[in-house]
Amino acid sequence: MSTSNTMLLASNNMRILLVAVMCILPTLASAHSMSPGFETEYAVSDTLSKTYTVKNDYNFAATYKVEVFNKDMAPATEWKAEKYTFKMKPNSKKEFNLKFKSTETRKLIVCSTLTNIGYENEKASIISRVCSRLIINGVTSL
């Protein structure tokens, strides 16, 4: 086999592989979603309340936990949630509220992370984490 034929065969194999990956990727990407994706908030008091919506796009029940990180991905402090974990039915949406201390400028990453699946709460073998950025411009004194 000549060099040009070998290169043509390799090129065709790469095209087939690329098409296969592009067909499979959308099905893997439909795990769960969260909104809003990125927001800048201006605090008017010491505490900022924020509502997020999580959508479980899986065809099975799932349990998610809420996590908040600083921009360097170190766990953030001075925030509270009504619930830190929540169960969702297949193809459903749920809102959750968070409260943040807002006396200074904060750059945060708010995440929902899949922990368990099914109605029996089996440990998830593949973990999906969806995050949103939040910048809080804290209250300043005059």
Q: What is the pLDDT of residues 48-57, one digit of tens each?
A: 999 999 999 9
Same domain, 48 and 101: yes
Residue pair 54/96 in contact (Cβ under 8 Å)? The answer is yes
Same domain, 54 and 121: yes
- Placement of tokens 């090129």 in the chain: 11
| pLDDT one-digit tens code per residue, 76-104 | 999 999 999 999 999 999 999 999 999 99
Mean residue pLDDT across the chain: 83
Exposed / middle / buried, residue 39 (Cβ in 10 Å: 0-12, 13-18, 19+): middle
| Domain enclosing residue 53, as ranges | 31-137
Which pLDDT does position 22 carry in this prediction? 46
Which is more confident, 6 or 111?
A: 111
| pLDDT one-digit tens code per residue, 28-54 | 445 788 988 899 999 889 999 999 999
pTM: 0.74
**Neighbour count for residue 102 (Cβ, 10 Å):** 22
- Placement of tokens 């984490």 in the chain: 129
Which is more confident, 7 or 133?
A: 133
Question: How open is the CA angle 130-95-102, to the nearest 5 degrees?
Answer: 80
Same domain, 95 and 128: yes
- Total domains, the chain: 2
Same domain, 45 and 7: no
